[in-house]
Structure 1
Amino acid sequence: MNQFGVLFHKEWREHLRNFKLFWIPAVFILFGILEPVTNYFLPQLLDSVGNLPDGAVIQIPEPEPEQILMAVLGQYQFVGMLVLVLAFMGAIAGERKSGTATLLYVRPLSFRSYFMSKWVMAGLVGLVSVWAGLLSAYYYIMLLFESVGFTDFLQFATTYSVWILLVVSIVLAASAALPNAGMAAAASLGVIFLLQITDGLLGAYWTVSPVKLPVYAAAWLDAGPDPSDFWWSLGIAVLLIVLITALGIWMSRKNAAKANV
């Protein structure tokens, strides 16, 4: 078996042992189900705790299915990003600090295979979690409200998946570059949320940006994004993923000597 296969198998077993293969998808599924169910039972919940006078009636307009999916996306943009960062912040920095990486570094090691085994595993966990959560939301929306066009949903979820891979790349590169998991988490969260805040405040001045991928993902549920802006943003996001991954490989090699023994 080649080095990548051996290292990927190690990552798989490690993710099984620490239950990341289960609890990360479970969090995304929970938030995917919670949004449509909460919207459906919201009038009853308000009625039961509202202490309204007798005869008062609460009338809340029924949300559109697309709005609920966008609300799920909003949850993922905060809680989901936080979960992914905390789950993978120590992927490389944690191994160096604990001394586990020394067992690998003393052998002839391809740092490209080392980093990519972690990137592929983290990417798979992230994508499976997001798709499981979005499909759960789609099912409950269809069950409790109306259906969303499945083609629109696929375009929506696929576009958002590229953003998830970009986030995973940032987290792993930070873990490779920084000396401990805490600093990697702080740097990753700082970069991700700063990009989102900047785009939220000033994004009206530009239409091409990888940070706009969640916005363009949501646009598929309506009239669809502008094709030119969308494809340019997607292309830049893919290029950034490649460049950040290359940086992560280089930083893994550069910082190998800093591993604790």
Structure 2
Amino acid sequence: MAGFGVLLQKEWREHTRNFKVLWIPLVFIILGVLEPITNHFLPEIMKSVGNMPEGMDFLWPEFQGSDIFISLLGQYQFIGILIIVLACMGTISSERKNGTATLLYVRPMSFRAYFLSKWLVVNALVLGSACLGFMAAWYYIEILFNSVDVGLLFGFIATYSLWLIFVVTVVLALSAWLPTGGAAGLAIVITLIYPVIDSLIGVYWAVSPWKLATYATYWFQVDADLSDLWMSAGVTVIVIILLLLFGIFMSKRNAAKTTV
């Protein structure tokens, strides 16, 4: 692939200049830190500001470390995914619109290298940010709650990481296909709205990329059946490969629409 290493460096420098390598990890880390701390001190906070009648005592459930990770995943599923969509929706379409892509297209460049360089750098940024957030949460969970098995935690993070790779691939493929606004709108429908629909009517099917976030929590359930998880992971990998091919094809097809 012509110029793949150069394109990787270009993408990393671009994300550095617009501070994405700073603020995206920072958001994930803040969410990871706040979740265990908030849940630990929530009973005291409610006692001080809850205005409960004198003598009334509310029994709070005793959270386990796994419960905090599952709760944090819920935060990532909305705030984290929204950040990924907003940060990446114009990765390719914006370059076509502002004419930046012209400087690349006139060179002996492979569109496969062009798309995959963006895909690799964005995935490295997103997965690194999510892992930092989970590690920050793990640190405080170990202090404030109970210890979580490392093997189970690794399975949990690995499963959710595959879902994040799917999200990134969807957003980039849409950015290669549509203008920025259209890519953002459709990406939000696919990655934020459809998972809600799938959770409501998805009882009729067990294998789906949109179920990976739910299946990630199965690692913390005793004697959970992981067969649907593995099948969903396999289907997700196939869909990711198809989306990569689609994104490469649309990048090449829409090159003529670049502003000169």
Into which bin does the TM-score normalised by the smaller protein fall?
Answer: over 0.9
Determine what percentage of the aligned residue pairs are the same residue: 51
Distance in 2 (CA, whole Å) between partners of 1:60 and 1:108 is 63
Matched-pair contact (CA < 8 Å) for 1:216–1:224: no
Aligned partners of 1:224, 1:108: CA distance in 2, in Å? 54
TM-score, normalisation: structure 2: 0.96
Aligned positions of 1:61-140 closer than 5 A: 61-140=61-140
In 2, the alpha carbon distance for the partners of 1:127 and 1:24 equals 10
1:6-63 deviations in whole A, cap 9, x for unaligned? 0000001111111111110111111111111001110111122122344444431221
Task: Report the CA distance between 1:202 and its aligned residue.
Answer: 1.3
Structure 1 stretches of 4+ moved >6 Å = none
**Amino acid of the residue matched to residue 187 of structure 2?**
S
Which runs of structure 2 are paired with 1:68-217 in the superposition (5 Å)?
68-179=68-179, 181-217=180-216
Match of 2:228 in 1: 229
- 2:93–2:175: 8 Å Cα contact kept in structure 1? yes
Counterpart position of 2:218: 219
Q: Distance in 2 between matches of 1:153 and 1:242?
A: 26
Aligned residues: 260
| 2:100 match: secondary structure | coil
Evaluate the alpha carbon distance shift between residue 115 and residue 239 of structure 1 in structure 2; reply closer, same or farther with a 3 A threshold. Answer: same
Counterparts of 1:221-260 in structure 2, within 5 Å, are 221-223=220-222, 225-260=224-259
Question: How far 1:223 moved relative to its partner?
Answer: 2.4
| C-alpha RMSD of matched pairs (Å) | 1.5
How many Å separate the matches in 1 of 2:141 and 2:238?
Answer: 35
- Aligned-partner Cα distance in 2 for 1:109–1:220: 43
Query: For 2:221 and 2:253, how far apart are their aligned partners in 1?
Result: 46
Cα contact 1:216–1:225 (8 A) shared by 2:
no
CA positional deviation for 1:149: 0.7
- Paired residues of 2:2 and 2:109 also in contact (CA < 8 A): no
Distance 1:225 1:104, change over 3 A: farther
Structure 2 unaligned blocks of 5 or more: none
Q: CA deviation at 1:176?
A: 0.3
Q: TM-score, normalised by structure 1?
A: 0.95
Could you tell me how far apart the structure 2 residues matched to 1:113 and 1:224 are? 43
Question: Structure 1, residues 161-220: CA drift from partner, whole Å, max 9, x if none?
Answer: 1000000000000100012x2221111111112430222111211111121111111100
Q: Which amino acid aligns with 2:107?
A: R
User: SS at 1:101's partner residue?
Assistant: helix
